[in-house]
Structure 1
């Protein structure tokens, strides 16, 4: 039993936690290396920039406005208040 900051701590499974932490770090590092080697981040950057360009285009804004279910809500609310 150890005393850490005035508390008694029993690290019964310390080896198990170290193994899980090590394996998790290795898996994460291998995933990152795979994404770097395959050019994943470059592809995602291009796709995101194309998405932002499309969202700011007049066509996308017109579609967004046409599909907005609340577009006539304010006008109907005004008409209801006026009568």
Structure 2
């Protein structure tokens, strides 16, 4: 355990940096913004427009499903 002191210093430094990043995100309201963006994204993905776009971008989707059922 020749380098145990170095490992402990690196671990302590990493934990300090991680804690500082978490505090910064909490202080700036990062988590609230992400929550709002995710809910808007989920609402849009379940809309009829998103469903039509998903089907338009993958015209072979139904063909692939039929092949899976036949095999």
Q: Would you say how many aligned residue pairs link Structure 1 and Structure 2? A: 65
- The gaps in structure 2 that reach 5 residues or longer are none
Normalization by structure 1: what TM-score? 0.73
Superposition TM-score, scaled by structure 2 size: 0.85
Determine the structure 2 residue equivalent to 1:70: 60
* TM-align CA RMSD: 1.4
Structure 1, unmatched stretches of 5+, are: 1-10, 78-83
Pairing 1:23–2:13 present: yes
Higher strand share: 1
Runs of 4+ in 1 over 6 A off after TM superposition: none
Q: Which has the higher helix share?
A: 2
